[in-house]
């Protein structure tokens, strides 16, 4: 019984034929397209349902637009509304809507469509994850095709800002239910293909109402591993990494003229939340002492290769309302020890530190553990599978002592006024400050109220305030128009162009 020679000859022939092919080009300057890295693949492409951040990072501005939008400087600017007027008592906003706008499938945009979009967010069976930001809207009316009137239950200085966010983009009634898989928006690009697990390909929408996008097409590539992101950029498979996942990989691009490497401001604050309802964290002195045990500059050096800004409260240094409060409880192990002593914990303190299995969180927690040890505090690190287990244990059940997480949502200081929220922090004084923010009649009053809120948190330390993450962007140096800062978690590609 002779045995054929293993068929190896055949498989080797196939293999060598494959090796002889040149590396495939994916996108780039030659066909006037751009491929950008998106680390998390969204669940669906509709930013108004579920997983809002990742969906918005692919389709916001590129495919979907809002009544207003947030520009690269974080300013509110008109989009599908040309202008608006706020009534004297602050409880009514009247929008003038843009004419001649239509969706990619030809459906015209008008006040009824806008009304439908907003009412869909507020509906009882709404699955919009950010619904809470819009519940101040009491009534939506469309007196004529070009006018939309919002009646609010109370004045809200933030509502316009939130209307510029991905969660409030305008969708058409006929396509709203299928937008998650087959998005139809009013933006300069339309989705051509979603190859799940790999990429979303978008092409220029030819009948766009505004100025046509300079690029013929854009592609979101889903690459979660920072090493793989950097490798893909170097090999030319992608052209833009708006937010590089690992700071230590950034330096190699800084000195390479083929790339633009920009340290932009981000909206992420990394904080170590404590269970304020559980002893000993219900004692403000303990929380203050732990804040003084941490040298934030060293943490940033070790975890983020020095890229980051120390924070003293829950606010991004990029915001115009930011107040630097890092001096309130600076690094001072002696004072920290004394304060623990005063709280009756001079003999030491031991607790569980529930750390999500994300590299930044794990590294930060390990350094914090060392700093805690210096003042006689033992933090037992317990790893928690993120997001699934962490959300359940910390967020839903609040069964934890201390945890650590980056809060990526912009202007989210209001979470401390939420009840329930995982800090279990309860302060009528803070709630009043947030109320003052909402009802502020002037920009100055709003800034003052935000400053008060920041000061209250800096003093009460419901969470240890660590650092704000910069947005480390790297892209092909021949590209122009990439957003360096990140006022909104987004990959707005509408102004990108190739030069040279």
Partner 1 sequence: MRRLKRIGRRLGGLAAVLTLASVVIFALIEAAPGDPALIMLGTGAQPDTLAALRAELGLDRPLALRYLDWIGGVLRGDLGMSYTYGTPVAELIVQRLAVTLPLTALATALAVAISLPLGTWAAHRPGGGVDGLATVFAQAGIAVPNFWIGLLLILGVALGLGAFPTGGFPGWDAGAGTAIHALVLPALALAIPQAAVLTRVTRAAVIEIASEDFIRTARAKGLTRGQALWRHTMPNALLPVVTMLGLQIPFLISGAVLVETVFNLPGIGTLAYNALAQRDLIVVQNVVLFFAVIVLASNAAVDALYAVLDPRLRGRR
Using CB under 8 A, list all residues that contact partner 1. 1-3, 6-8, 11-12, 14-15, 17-19, 21, 23-24, 26, 41, 43-44, 50-53, 124-133, 180-181, 195-199, 221-225, 227-228, 231-232, 234-235, 237, 385, 387-389, 391-393, 395-396, 409
Nearer to partner 1, 27 or 457 (CB): 27
Give, in order, the Cα–Cα distances in Å from 268 to each of 2, 140, 413: 68, 33, 12
We find the least distance from the C-beta atom of residue 362 to partner 1, in angstroms, to be 16
Cα 167 from chain centroid (whole Å)? 12
Tokens 């396509």 found at: 175
Phi first, then psi: what are they for 169, rounded to 5°? Answer: -70, 160
Longest dimension (CA), the chain: 97
C-alpha 220/C-alpha 222 separation (Å) is 6
β-bridge mates for residue 97, sequence order: 81
Q: Contact at 8 Å (CB) between 313 and 465?
A: yes
Nearer to partner 1, 98 or 407 (CB): 407
We find the least distance from the C-beta atom of residue 19 to partner 1, in angstroms, to be 6
Q: How many CB atoms are closer than 10 A to CB 105? A: 12
We find the least distance from the C-beta atom of residue 342 to partner 1, in angstroms, to be 34
We find the least distance from the C-beta atom of residue 164 to partner 1, in angstroms, to be 16
The gap between the terminal CA atoms of the chain, to the nearest Å, is: 67
Q: How many CB atoms are closer than 10 A to CB 121? A: 21
We find the least distance from the C-beta atom of residue 417 to partner 1, in angstroms, to be 13
We find the least distance from the C-beta atom of residue 18 to partner 1, in angstroms, to be 4
Half-sphere exposure of 410 (CA within 13 A, CB side): 25
Q: Which residues of 429-441 are buried (b: 16+ CB within 10 A; e: fewer)?
A: ebbebbebbbebe
Nearer to partner 1, 50 or 305 (CB): 50
Nearer to partner 1, 3 or 206 (CB): 3
Cα 234 from chain centroid (whole Å)? 26
We find the least distance from the C-beta atom of residue 13 to partner 1, in angstroms, to be 11
Nearer to partner 1, 20 or 334 (CB): 20
Nearer to partner 1, 180 or 367 (CB): 180
We find the least distance from the C-beta atom of residue 198 to partner 1, in angstroms, to be 4
Q: How many CB atoms are closer than 10 A to CB 385? A: 12
Nearer to partner 1, 22 or 257 (CB): 22
C-alpha torsion sign, points 4, 7, 13, 14: positive
Beta strands 463-476 and 259-273 are antiparallel
Nearer to partner 1, 14 or 334 (CB): 14
């Amino acid at each position: 019984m002779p045995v054929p020679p293993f068929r190896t000859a055949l498989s080797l022939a196939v293999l060598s034929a494959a090796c002889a092919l040149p590396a495939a080009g994916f996108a780039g300057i030659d066909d006037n397209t751009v491929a950008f890295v998106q680390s998390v693949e969204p669940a669906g492409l509709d930013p108004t349902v579920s997983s809002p951040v990742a969906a918005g990072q692919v389709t916001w501005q590129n495919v979907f637009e809002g009544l207003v939008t947030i520009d690269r400087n974080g300013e509110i600017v008109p989009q599908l509304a040309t202008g608006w007027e706020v009534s004297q008592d602050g409880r009514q906003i009247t929008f003038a809507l843009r004419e001649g706008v239509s969706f990619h499938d030809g459906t015209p945009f008008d006040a009824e469509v806008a009304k439908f979009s907003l009412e869909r967010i507020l509906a009882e069976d709404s699955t919009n994850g950010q619904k809470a930001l819009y519940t101040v809207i009491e009534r939506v009316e469309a007196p004529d095709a070009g006018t939309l009137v919002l009646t609010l239950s109370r004045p809200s200085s933030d509502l316009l800002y939130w209307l510029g966010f991905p969660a409030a983009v305008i969708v058409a009634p006929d396509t709203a239910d299928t937008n998650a898989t087959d998005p139809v928006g009013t933006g300069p690009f339309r989705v051509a293909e979603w190859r799940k697990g790999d990429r979303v390909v978008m092409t220029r929408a030819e009948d766009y109402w505004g100025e046509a996008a300079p690029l013929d097409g854009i592609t979101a590539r889903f690459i979660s591993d920072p090493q793989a992101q950097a490798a893909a950029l170097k090999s030319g498979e992608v052209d833009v990494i708006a937010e590089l996942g690992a700071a230590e990989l950034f330096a190699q691009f800084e000195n390479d003229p083929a790339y633009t490497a920009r340290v932009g401001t981000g909206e992420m604050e990394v904080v170590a939340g404590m269970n304020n309802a559980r002893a000993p964290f219900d004692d403000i002195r303990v929380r203050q002492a732990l804040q003084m045990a941490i040298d934030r500059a060293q943490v940033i050096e070790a975890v983020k290769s020095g890229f980051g800004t120390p924070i003293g409260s829950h606010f991004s240094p990029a915001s115009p309302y930011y107040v630097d409060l890092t001096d309130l409880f600076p690094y001072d192990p002696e004072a920290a020890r004394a304060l623990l002593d005063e709280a009756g914990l001079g003999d030491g303190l031991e607790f569980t530190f529930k750390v999500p299995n994300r590299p930044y969180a794990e590294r930060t927690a390990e350094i914090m553990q060392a700093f805690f040890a210096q003042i006689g505090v033992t933090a037992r690190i317990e790893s928690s599978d993120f997001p699934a287990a962490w959300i359940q244990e910390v967020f839903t059940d609040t069964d934890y002592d201390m945890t650590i997480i980056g809060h990526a949502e912009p202007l989210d200081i209001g979470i401390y006024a939420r009840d329930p929220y995982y800090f279990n922090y309860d302060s009528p004084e803070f709630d009043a400050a947030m109320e003052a923010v909402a009802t502020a009649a002037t920009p100055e009053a709003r800034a003052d109220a935000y400053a008060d809120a920041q000061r209250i948190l800096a003093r009460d330390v419901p969470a240890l305030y660590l650092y704000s993450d910069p947005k480390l962007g790297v892209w092909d140096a021949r590209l122009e128009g990439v957003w360096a800062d990140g006022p909104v978690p987004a990959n707005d590609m509408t102004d990108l162009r190739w030069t040279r």
